[in-house]
């Protein structure tokens, strides 16, 4: 096994001749800094569900606010305040298949978008974040253009109570 | 039918798909399949009914078509778009596009007994 001792000694001496102690510290520092940067990659940020109010964002504003751009023709409780989101119903409720549809102006790109205000049904009224903006809303005698209807009544589970309203983007209105 | 530019068939300048989303999709759903027992599907009936004069009259006189805020021209373009894009049945070679004049004529007489007439047309339609 003597050859192994010689090999190890020669390798260690060669390494010591080639490198300085400071370079070891510098390398270790770079490694630690790199490891600290890993959580900043998009993988971790994708799990961050906090709303962004960045003006350059394609979906600007606070989805929990009545002023949020997609809420321009909403009439009801904002599902985001009730355990759901602007596109998903809270647990324990079903999304109505029939719905009231309108357009809203997206301030970030200046385009109009078709928005579908699907109601979430199956629990009593949420009661939080009531928002009633009614832009483009028509009278009850134009049923397809009125948001005063309880759209839960069209759900396959008949006569179930209204809980809250979503505001889903269907597509650009052009 | 010449569709021309968007400006020729819409006060809002919308393409037929957007007019469908705004004026029909709320009840008939995105694919036209409707809601069983409440909102009829158009995925077979529209092309089927379009083959007979009585069926075409029905299509234009149903409340959603006759009373839509779209113009006669927009409505005709939209019906033709629906027949081509929301149907389980292939468009027959002798399919005749809906015209603005046809829409104007029949939407002036909205249908009261919608379910009765639909049932009669469906029973007369080929399986």
Which run of H or E residues covers position A117? strand A111-117
Mean pLDDT of A89-103: 90
User: Which is the catalytic residue, given A69, A100, A137, A151?
Assistant: A100
Pairwise CB contact (< 8 Å): B18 & A114? yes
Catalytic residue among A119, A137, A148, A151: A119
Residue A100 is among the residues annotated as catalytic for this protein? yes
Interface pTM, i.e. ipTM: 0.75
pLDDT at A155: 64
More confident residue, A104 or B13: A104
Does residue A35 register a pLDDT over 90? no
pLDDT reported for residue B1 = 33
Q: Which residue of B has its CA nearest to A103?
A: B22
Cβ of residue B40 closer than 8 Å to a chain A Cβ = no
Assigned token pair, A84:
């759901």
pLDDT the model gives residue B3: 36
User: What was the pLDDT predicted at B25?
Assistant: 92
List B119's β-bridge partners, or say none: none
Between chain A and chain B, how many beta carbons pairs sit less than 8 Å apart?
Answer: 56
Q: All domains of chain A, ordered by start, with CATH? A: 2-44 (no CATH), 69-172 (2.60.30.10)
Q: What's the average model confidence in pLDDT over A84-96?
A: 93
**Distance separating alpha carbons of residues A168 and A170, to the nearest angstrom:** 6
Would you identify the CATH topology of the domain B14-124? Cytochrome Bc1 Complex; Chain D, domain 2 (1.10.760)
Q: Where are the domains of chain B?
A: 14-124
CA-closest candidate to residue B102, choices B50, B63, B64, B32: B50
Render pLDDT for B43-95 as a digit per residue (tens, 0 to 9): 999 999 999 999 999 999 998 999 888 999 999 999 999 999 999 999 999 99
Residue A7, Cβ density class (10 Å: 0-12 exposed, 13-18 middle, ≥19 buried): exposed
Cβ contact A116–B25 (<8 Å): yes
């Amino acid at each position: 096994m003597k050859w192994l001792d010689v090999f190890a000694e020669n390798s260690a001496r060669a390494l010591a001749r080639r490198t300085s102690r400071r370079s070891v510290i510098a390398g270790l520092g770079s490694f630690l800094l790199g490891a600290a940067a890993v959580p900043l990659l998009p993988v971790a940020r994708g799990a961050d569900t906090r709303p962004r109010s960045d003006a350059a964002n394609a979906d600007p504003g606070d989805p929990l606010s009545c002023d949020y751009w997609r809420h321009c023709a909403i009439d009801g409780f904002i599902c985001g305040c009730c355990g759901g989101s602007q596109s998903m119903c809270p647990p324990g409720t079903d999304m109505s298949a029939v719905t009231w549809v309108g357009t809203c102006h997206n301030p970030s790109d200046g385009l109009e978008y078709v928005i579908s205000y699907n109601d979430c049904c199956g629990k009593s009224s949420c009661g939080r974040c009531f928002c009633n903006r009614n832009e483009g809303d028509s009278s009850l005698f134009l049923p397809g253009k009125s948001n005063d209807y309880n759209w839960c009544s069209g759900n396959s589970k008949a006569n179930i109570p209204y809980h809250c309203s979503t505001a889903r983007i269907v597509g650009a209105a052009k | 039918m010449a569709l021309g530019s968007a400006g020729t068939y819409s006060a809002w300048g919308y393409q037929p798909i957007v007019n469908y989303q705004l004026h029909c999709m709320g009840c008939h759903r995105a694919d036209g399949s409707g809601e069983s027992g409440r909102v009829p599907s158009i995925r077979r009936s529209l092309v089927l009914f379009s083959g007979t004069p009585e069926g075409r009259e029905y299509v234009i006189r149903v409340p959603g078509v006759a009373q839509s805020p779209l113009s006669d021209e927009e409505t005709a373009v939209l019906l033709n778009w629906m027949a081509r894009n929301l149907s389980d049945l292939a468009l027959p070679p002798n399919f005749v596009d809906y015209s603005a004049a046809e829409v104007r004529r029949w939407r002036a007489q909205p249908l009261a007994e919608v379910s009765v007439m639909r049932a009669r047309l469906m029973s007369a339609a080929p399986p």
